[in-house]
């Protein structure tokens, strides 16, 4: 890429939508963010210093000034491989030192960012270095062409919901400007979120359409007699960003550290090394999955497939591909002329890989609800094994348009259900509940309890287990006085 000068640009030149609600909350005249430190400016010669890693600031504790620069319209610019202007956060280079837990921020003089990144990658202690690019939302508006929520029929949602409609202990983060948190079809599932720019909690938001559409596709309430249905009844929360890679990284790390297992980022950037490091952290810390938009047909080509970021391409009602092909694609999902929630408590159609991504996220969350012990590799393996391959495309092969295939919710839910051990008996005796199930040697088993079949399931603590060649017994030492339902899970 060819470097251009850092500059101030008006909103209309950025092709980024204005966000008046967030702009009113942000104090654009101050750089300070509570709990964050602005990195010191280093000269290019100092980038060779042996103690450089000590002078870098880890992203969860760094104030990269991405929000300040965004709201003051101060950006660096590059010409990317497609000949388009790519905006980046000036003065900041993102670097991962080998053996370090987190990506860090290094600050250099304005105009020296690209030179600094190129110098850093030659250090033997550096795993990667890249600019803090501002990414873009992957969507575009369109008129309705097909009936509302056609994607549920295509994916077999009704069959999947017969097994499980999703559980609130599985949470989905929508990383974007916040969605409308009090939308009537979302609010029963909404929990407080976090602002990755200002490092504060988000408890309410009137929202923007892009993120509200995403939230509805993932988790609008199923079977509540109101509006539409998301993919499942999982909890959902907003994490605010302005679009910088560093903010996305912080968002994923915060989600992982706060028990969020599914993170959706409907923006470009799925080929970023920094975001791949965040995805790996999410997997290792909370057995979670990072999902991103696969790129619309007019998006700049991606260069690589990151192993810990799952990019989703977009299909229409006839399973035709409507988005960017390339090595980044992992799966396909409906996203063309798709119907969901918008601000003001309303509903509308939209198209984009921005929307195929939260459909995938909602499906993944429901699979985790069916068997919470499944790890990310288990969930992805099930989705690969059950994916639909259009036009006779061979099963088990990857394709640059569809990835491993267009997801099949019904089949994936059925296979996930089959991973649960079959309960053969429940006996109440001496104030304890003994639950017996079929046993497979070498597997790990957990006992879960709920007060209703459609309620929340919680792991039972202090379980006592006993096994023989064919069965396992798990004893709940403190069952409730009223009725209870039990489930045994095993990956």
Distance separating alpha carbons of residues 332 and 322, to the nearest angstrom = 10
Burial of 71 (0-12, 13-18, 19+ CB in 10 A): middle
Active site residue 461: no
Query: Which has the closest alpha carbon to 280: 62, 92, 102?
Result: 102
Partner residues linked to 193 by β-bridges:
202
Active site residue 195: no
Distance separating alpha carbons of residues 440 and 37, to the nearest angstrom = 51
Q: What is the 3-state secondary structure (H, E, C) of 57-93?
A: EEHHHECCCHHHHHHCCEEEEEECCCCCEEEEEEEEE
Q: How far is CA 3 from the centre of its chain?
A: 31
Q: Which helix (H) or strand (E) holds 94?
A: strand 85-97
Q: How far apart, in Å, are the Cα atoms of 441 and each of 40, 176, 422, 438, 472?
A: 56, 44, 15, 10, 10
Q: Which of 151, 185, 210, 246 is catalytic?
A: 210
Distance separating alpha carbons of residues 327 and 399, to the nearest angstrom = 9
Phi, psi for 35 (deg, rounded to 5)? 80, 5
Other beta carbons within 10 Å of 83: 8
Q: Which of 323, 354, 356, 369 is catalytic?
A: 354
Q: How far apart, in Å, are the Cα atoms of 223 and each of 161, 235, 423?
A: 10, 15, 28
Q: Which of 176, 195, 197, 408 is catalytic?
A: 176
Active site residue 471: no
Distance separating alpha carbons of residues 233 and 157, to the nearest angstrom = 12
Give the active site residues. 176, 210, 354
């Amino acid at each position: 890429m060819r470097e251009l000068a850092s500059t101030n640009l008006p909103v209309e030149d950025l092709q980024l939508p204005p966000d008046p609600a967030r702009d009113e909350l942000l104090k654009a005249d101050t750089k300070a963010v509570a709990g964050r430190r602005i990195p010191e400016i280093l000269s290019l010669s100092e980038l060779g210093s042996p103690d450089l890693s000590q002078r870098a600031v880890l992203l969860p504790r760094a104030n990269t000034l991405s929000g300040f620069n965004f709201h003051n319209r101060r950006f660096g610019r590059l010409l990317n491989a497609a000949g388009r202007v790519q905006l980046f956060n000036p003065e900041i280079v993102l670097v991962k030192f080998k053996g370090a837990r987190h990506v860090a921020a290094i600050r250099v003089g304005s105009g020296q960012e690209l030179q600094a990144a190129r110098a850093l990658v030659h250090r033997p202690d550096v795993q990667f270095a890249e600019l803090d690019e501002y990414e873009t939302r992957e969507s575009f508006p369109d008129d309705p062409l097909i009936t509302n929520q056609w994607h549920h029929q295509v994916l077999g949602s009704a069959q999947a919901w017969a097994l499980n409609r999703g559980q609130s202990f599985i949470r989905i983060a929508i990383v974007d400007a916040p969605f409308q948190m009090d939308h009537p079809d979302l609010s029963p599932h909404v929990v407080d979120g976090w602002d990755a720019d200002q490092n504060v909690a988000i408890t309410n938001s009137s929202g923007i359409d892009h993120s509200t559409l995403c939230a509805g596709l993932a988790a609008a309430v199923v079977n509540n007699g109101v509006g539409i249905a998301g993919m499942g009844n999982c909890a959902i929360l907003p994490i605010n960003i302005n679009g910088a890679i560093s903010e996305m990284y912080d968002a994923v790390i915060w989600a992982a550290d706060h028990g969020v297992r599914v993170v959706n980022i409907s923006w470009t950037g799925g080929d970023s090394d920094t975001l791949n490091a965040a995805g790996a952290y999410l997997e290792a810390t909370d057995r979670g999955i990072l999902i991103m938009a696969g790129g619309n047909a007019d998006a700049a080509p991606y260069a690589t497939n990151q192993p810990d970021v799952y990019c989703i391409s977009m299909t229409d009602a006839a399973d035709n591909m409507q988005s960017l092909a390339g090595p980044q694609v992992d799966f396909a999902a409906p996203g063309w002329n798709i119907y969901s929630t918008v601000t003001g408590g309303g509903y509308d159609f939209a198209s984009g890989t921005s929307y195929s991504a939260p459909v995938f996220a909602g499906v993944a969350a429901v699979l985790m609800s069916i068997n919470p012990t499944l790890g990310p590799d288990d969930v992805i393996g099930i989705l690969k094994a059950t994916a639909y391959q259009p036009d006779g495309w061979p099963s088990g092969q990857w394709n640059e348009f569809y990835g491993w295939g267009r997801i099949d919710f019904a089949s994936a839910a059925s296979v996930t259900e089959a991973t649960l051990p079959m309960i053969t008996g429940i006996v109440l005796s001496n104030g304890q509940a003994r639950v017996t199930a079929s046993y497979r040697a070498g597997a790990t088993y957990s006992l879960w309890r709920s007060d209703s079949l459609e309620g929340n399931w919680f792991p039972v603590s202090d379980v006592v287990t006993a096994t023989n060649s064919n069965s396992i017994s798990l004893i709940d030492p403190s069952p409730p006085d009223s009725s209870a339902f039990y489930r045994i899970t095993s990956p």
